A and B are shown apart, each in its own frame.
Chain A
């Protein structure tokens, strides 16, 4: 269980121990020490601390130390009871929108929202007056005072779950609303609720102590910590121990609840990172030789996260005004390769390479911030999240010119408008003054490309730039990338899972599988692909010419897991041509006489497999 992980953290472990001690005391203390706590001894009235009475005695000569121990049960029970009432009421109110339907639910939500606005203690005092002075009154007062916050939390959690498709699926299946709530919603929101209830219990304990201290809570002859603190306070100048020790008891118990809740929230919130060592074995792949017009040279690039290497020795080069596409499935390492080149991999990720040079400068040793803004630009998948929603589009573009080229405000704005027109945005002057949400998805992606063109880039790295866009818009953005590349003589590195996207724009295609390049071939030579994976990939995607009477080519099995790679070729478990050698030795990426590269022991006979 994941809860066990909570106990393993230092804070979680000690908080749990403390909590257990408090609960144990609550159970045992009244059984063991009730007599001593209630024994009246008129000869020992209002004594200070002594070896016989560790915390002194009260006005009837009763031992305060034992009274504090015995009061644990009532204090904790009242706190738990109040929390229980609060959580139950909160759950009822919070799930009401789902259980009662939209119209009634909206009323309940509005009521809860108003209740949340009142301070908790004020509500508690208000309820305490209504329910009357005493422990039952206090119980309901504090319970109802914490209910709105819980109702709100439940509402938020329920709303998140209710939007999930599995709830819709259950509704279509005719699952009734109560059952929907019990089977699907509650189990999925249980964890945060339990954590918050634990923290809430700590707060309820403090609140109850406060009420009793004010005389609104527990009434004599009953006593809890707040009551003891109140009576002890009268003689605090004569012998402070009575008040002090009750205070300490409240703090310790409150801390136990709160710390445990916090620790649980912390360690349940984080998933433990996998650590499995995959020894990086040096490999010599044939590389494209770095000619004079090389923009980017990558040799033996590795990206490692906690001992797992999702990118394993990638080598390729990119020349001026060349467009190269990287294609692969999720987990193939294509996006990480792009991030490594743009130096955007963050800890705990680690990038190493035999050589990683851009325009003759090594990207490995120097801080490339300047290069990133001026000579290399990046376009990401989701233009909505890569633009700042609170800044005007033109302002965001201008910012690049002001930071990197030191242009004045006016000049930077003019450049921004000019670049927006370069990416064929109609009415660039007006568009520049708009906010990202006023632009369509395609427009936003154009603006992102325009931002990349604010400097004088030599390379555009585009990571799935059209995946979030519609097919018709997709084509316009691809055409734009292509024309920008041609007009400005840039190199383009296009990452995509969709081979048809790559085919539209690129000269050369790099096919990646399990962190390695398995084939490097010209885009118009895809029909002559030699690697079985490339061929299967082409056959698995239906096109408008696919024969409808035949089933699609299927790649059996699932994509390779970078933390558990087979010893030989990573594709061998899914490959129809795999033999003993494939399962033993990983084939190197070797150049063929026509300048292509392929990593397969059977590159010569692969023709005829997959899509023919």
Chain B
């Protein structure tokens, strides 16, 4: 349970003169144990922000802080001389959009999950932990022996969740985790994410282009547009009293109620 804070974060691709600014001086705080939903259209910089948070994309300017300390990523923390307790855990984990490319097709589900675990566990310990994690995401422990090709999209996304949890993270970044899934599967994954977050008191940045999905999962909602944060407030406030014109546009687009039709509009 830790607080994740983005301070004046800027991510620029390319050179100073010919580059594009994907994230522009963004400030956002994700309070400990809460879910912040991040909405915005494709190209608005949401995924870049997520990748920067876990260290996949270098930050051009600004800082990303975990409980006030700069974040150290997996391979950095191993290189630098840190106490081993720090090295063991991976405080931030990410779940990706496409469950078909986020699991190594040549590795069993169990091996993929075990790889993300802190070092220094014995073989039986790892096996027990894999079984526990699989049960946590509502998959049979026997699935550890299976290759991803034998699983459906929804099942793969559960494995990806289990792998993220294997690092014993305190912050999880979920980047469009349901948008590649079928409608009937999406619900189960959303329920699972919500349930796990509440049970484990995880701090979570939940990214989606779908406002209704974000609203269902999040306590706070942040809206990104062209690399800038245009709105950030408690969920109900954003929905009932949006300040930014772009947020209003998004709300209008998503506003088709479940039974609202052309005729009744």
Set of chain B residues within 8 Å of A474, measured between Cβ atoms: 253
A558 within 8 A of B: yes
**B187, A554: Cβ atoms closer than 8 Å:** yes
Output the least CB separation between A186 and chain B (Å): 9
Set of chain A residues within 8 Å of B1, measured between Cβ atoms: none
**B186, A541: Cβ atoms closer than 8 Å:** yes
Of A174-182, A251-259, A388-396, A405-413, the stretch lying at the interface with chain B is: A174-182
The total of chain A residues at the interface (CB under 8 A) is 59
**B263, A523: Cβ atoms closer than 8 Å:** yes
B45 within 8 A of A: no
Q: How far is the CA of A498 from the CA of B183 in the complex (A)?
A: 8
Set of chain A residues within 8 Å of B93, measured between Cβ atoms: 172-173
B163 within 8 A of A: yes
> What is the chain A residue whose CB lies nearest that of B102?
A165
Contact of A170 among B115, B184, B195, B262 (CB under 8 A): B115
B104 within 8 A of A: yes
A576 within 8 A of B: no
Of A103-111, A205-213, A340-348, A500-508, the stretch lying at the interface with chain B is: A500-508
Interface string of A529-566 (1 = CB under 8 A from B): 00000001111111111101001111100110000000
Contact of B254 among A166, A172, A544 (CB under 8 A): A544
Of B2-10, B19-27, B72-80, B122-130, the stretch lying at the interface with chain A is: B72-80
Set of chain B residues within 8 Å of A329, measured between Cβ atoms: 182-184
Contacts A471-B210, A503-B261, A524-B264: A544 and B104 contacting too (C-beta < 8 A)?
A: no
> Which of B73, B195, B239, B261 has the largest number of chain A CB atoms within 10 A?
B261
Output the least CB separation between B261 and chain A (Å): 4
Contacts A172-B90, A173-B74: A544 and B212 contacting too (C-beta < 8 A)?
A: yes
B33 within 8 A of A: no
Contact of B116 among A165, A173, A184, A540 (CB under 8 A): A173
Contacts A170-B115, A188-B104, A506-B262: A500 and B256 contacting too (C-beta < 8 A)?
A: yes
Contact of A545 among B92, B210, B258, B263 (CB under 8 A): B258
Contacts A329-B184, A497-B183: A173 and B263 contacting too (C-beta < 8 A)?
A: no
**B78, A176: Cβ atoms closer than 8 Å:** yes
**B106, A177: Cβ atoms closer than 8 Å:** no
Q: How far is the CA of A465 from the CA of B193 in the complex (A)?
A: 30
**B115, A177: Cβ atoms closer than 8 Å:** no
Q: How far is the CA of A546 from the CA of B239 in the complex (A)?
A: 13
A366 within 8 A of B: no
Set of chain B residues within 8 Å of A172, measured between Cβ atoms: 54-56, 73-74, 90, 92-94, 167
Which residues of B74-123 are within 8 A (CB) of A? 74-75, 77-78, 90, 92-94, 96-98, 101-107, 112, 115-116
Interface string of B179-199 (1 = CB under 8 A from A): 000111111101100110000
Set of chain B residues within 8 Å of A498, measured between Cβ atoms: 183
**B216, A542: Cβ atoms closer than 8 Å:** yes
Output the least CB separation between B58 and chain A (Å): 10
B61 within 8 A of A: no
**A537, B183: Cβ atoms closer than 8 Å:** yes
Contact of A551 among B54, B167, B191 (CB under 8 A): B191
Set of chain A residues within 8 Å of B261, measured between Cβ atoms: 503-504, 523-524, 526
Output the least CB separation between B99 and chain A (Å): 9
> What is the chain B residue whose CB lies nearest that of A168?
B56
Output the least CB separation between A573 and chain B (Å): 13
> Which of B78, B106, B183 has the largest number of chain A CB atoms within 10 A?
B183
> Which of A174, A482, A506 has the largest number of chain B CB atoms within 10 A?
A174
**A546, B216: Cβ atoms closer than 8 Å:** yes
Which residues of B164-220 are within 8 A (CB) of A? 166-167, 182-188, 190-191, 194-195, 209-213, 215-216
Output the least CB separation between A341 and chain B (Å): 23
**A543, B257: Cβ atoms closer than 8 Å:** yes
Set of chain A residues within 8 Å of B249, measured between Cβ atoms: 472
Contact of B187 among A473, A500, A527, A553 (CB under 8 A): A553
Set of chain B residues within 8 Å of A507, measured between Cβ atoms: 262-263
Contacts A540-B186, A540-B187: A504 and B75 contacting too (C-beta < 8 A)?
A: no
**B259, A527: Cβ atoms closer than 8 Å:** yes
A470 within 8 A of B: yes
Output the least CB separation between A566 and chain B (Å): 17
The 5 closest A-B pairs by CB, nearest first: A174-B74, A470-B41, A165-B102, A173-B116, A555-B184
CB<8 Å pairs between A and B, sample of 24: A164-B102, A165-B97, A166-B104, A172-B73, A172-B90, A172-B92, A173-B74, A173-B116, A173-B166, A174-B73, A174-B167, A330-B182, A470-B42, A472-B250, A472-B253, A474-B253, A499-B183, A503-B259, A506-B262, A507-B263, A542-B190, A548-B215, A555-B185, A558-B185
